[in-house]
Amino acid sequence: MTPDFSIFLSLFIDTLGYWWVIVPATLLGIVVGAIPGFSAANTIIILLPLTLAMEPATGMIFMVALYTSSRLGAGIPAILVNIPGTAGAAATPLDGYPMAVAGRGQQALAISFVASVLGGLLTTIAALLLLPWLSQVAYHLHSVEMIVVMLFGISLIATISAEDKIKGLIAGFFGLMIGYIGADRVFEAPRGTFGFLELYDKVPLIPALVGLFAISEAFVVIERGSILSKQGEIVQRQAGWGPTFEGIFITLKHWKDIIWTGMLGLVIGVIPGAGAAIASFVAYQQSRLFSKTPELYGTGHVPGLIAPESANNGVTSGTLIPLLLIGVPGGATAAIMAVVLEYHGVNFGPGLFQSQPMIAYGSFTAMAVTYVLLGLMILPLTRYFSRVMVVPTIYMAPILIAFTLVGSFVPRAYLFDMGVAIVFGIIGFIARKTGYHVAAILIGVILGPLLENYFLRALRISEGDLGVLFSSKIGNVLWVLLVLSLALPGLKRYFRRFVNRSARIK
């Protein structure tokens, strides 16, 4: 299967004719992404009767536009109030929120939006051009390779805990232990559930996420009286449109970061089951690793915000490739898209690109159009979004807690999950007050169960032989890269000390 370049332009023009579908879906997606706990997946489920009533191409364009815009919208609360409402935005607050606290919330939003739009747009175009080759990625990356990819993400625990590695590792292992709560994947035996049936399907991710970040942050800002620092409040109140334009120009200067992190997200998105969380964590870890100023990450550093936002938007086009080519959804939203298309009798496979190009190629052109519209629609709103931060915490904290509790309830509709969010809020508050990094805990909660799943799958295939972890050529290359990435920071420090010592001797 090769892309038919002659139809791309006509498809793009035809897609513009669906503006009446794309514009409302885009607006809805921004709102959905900005509400913690809501996602494109559960929104499409709610609107399933509407999408089933549409023509297949129209329904697919609606779902793609909603999915794309919700990914970008998730960065808004992550930056402004430290609430990553989805796992894909979990790495965004690491540098986005410190910028907001310093009064640079408007600039941070502009950076996030531009990185998201350009990263998503470039990877969507790349997905169209590289479709035959990207379709083969899923065939070459299996359980062994995915184990190493997961370890790249988990190694971020040590990276973000550079100031106190012992506390960082303790927090990370604590998160991994929480992530393993639930029924064992082999024998279905309960582990650490304390008799709660609601925990058999592991600890719910959204309540854990909003509890660790949002509720604990609400407790902290109550003590401060304001989300903003004193200097940040002055900067925020005096801000005009300047920070938005500054954010745009700053992001454009980092165009190389947008390209390579976006492409990383695209490749990870092609792998079924990987997803935006892995892409954002790996992109952040790699961005920090190869930075000349790694010590600035976590303090409001621009590349630390660009990397996860570009990567998690690069995932969006990647998830469509296995769905359309082999009928295997790359994530929860793609799985619901598959249900809708199957209802209309659409047959997945390479033939779909010849028989129904408006569904196959049109899904990517709809995504490209959505990103263009997103850039035009959302950048003028950065100034008004950032004003949220000047609201006194006596009002803001109860609103944050109320919204996060509702968001915790939405995915599974269990009151139990609201209690889980409160428990994780207390854990996060204690962690913050005692110097433990809540992001390290969250990484363990998110990536721990995924690592276990791929590890057990590899052992089943090899009948318990641990040698399978080193049986793949691609996997072995990744193992070498992982070791180098872990050793590189230490080697850099040793080399700098050696150079400084030599200079003093001279």
pLDDT in tens, 134-148: 767 666 777 888 888
What does the mean pLDDT of the chain come to? 83
Domains in the chain: how many in total? 1
Which pLDDT score, from 0 to 100, does residue 3 have? 54
The DSSP output letter for 346 is: P
In this prediction, residue 464 has a pLDDT band, given cuts at 50, 70 and 90, of confident
Among residues 98, 105, 220, 222, the alpha carbon closest in space to that of 160 is found at 98
The closest of 410, 439, 397, 382 to 72, measured between CA atoms, is: 382
Q: Is 172 contained in some domain? A: yes
- Residue range 160-183: mean pLDDT, rounded: 79
* pLDDT at site 6: 62
In a domain, 503, yes or no: no
pLDDT value, residue 62: 93
**Residue 153 included in any domain:** yes
Cα separations in angstroms, 471 against 465, 467, 479:
10, 7, 11
Closest CA to 233 of 112, 391, 400: 391
Structural domain harbouring 460? 5-471
Q: Which residues pair with 191 in a beta bridge?
A: 182
Look at residue 184 and tell me whether its pLDDT is greater than 80.
no
- Are the C-beta atoms of 81 and 283 separated by less than 8 Å? no
Q: What percent of the chain has pLDDT over 70?
A: 88
Stretch (H or E) spanning 260: helix 255-270
CA distances from 421 to 36, 224, 287, 408 (A): 12, 22, 31, 7
Position 482 in a domain: no
Taking the mean position of all CA atoms in its chain, how far away is CA 215? 20
| Rounded mean pLDDT, 467-484 | 85
The pLDDT of residue 118 is above 90: yes
Question: Residues 156, 443: contact at Cβ < 8 Å?
Answer: yes
110 lies in some domain: yes
Domain assignment present for residue 45? The answer is yes
* pLDDT level of residue 237 (50, 70, 90 thresholds): low
Average pLDDT over residues 177-186: 81
Q: Taking residues 117-140, what's their average pLDDT?
A: 82
| Eight-class DSSP state of 348 | P
Burial 20-32 (b: 16+ CB within 10 A, else e): ebbeebbbbbbeb
Contact 41, 55 (CB under 8 A): no
Residues 6+ apart with CB under 8 A from 98: 298, 299, 300
What's the predicted TM-score (pTM) here?
0.84
Structure tokens at 280: 């954002």
| Domain annotation covers residue 477 | no
- Max CA distance (Å), the chain: 79
CA pair distance 342, 315, nearest whole angstrom: 23
pLDDT band at 486 (very low <50, low <70, confident <90, very high): confident
Q: How does DSSP classify residue 183?
A: E
CA angle 123, 127, 131 (to 5 degrees): 165
DSSP class of residue 386? H
Instruction: Inform me whether the pLDDT recorded for 204 exceeds 60.
Output: yes
Element (H, E) at 26: helix 19-34
**Region 314-328: what's the mean pLDDT?**
84
If 0-12 CB within 10 Å is exposed, 13-18 middle and 19+ buried, where does residue 484 land? exposed
Distance of alpha carbon 283 from alpha carbon 285, whole angstroms: 5
Report the DSSP beta bridge partners of residue 183. Answer: 190
In a domain? residue 335: yes
Average the pLDDT over 494-498 and give the result: 70
Q: How much is the pLDDT for 95?
A: 93
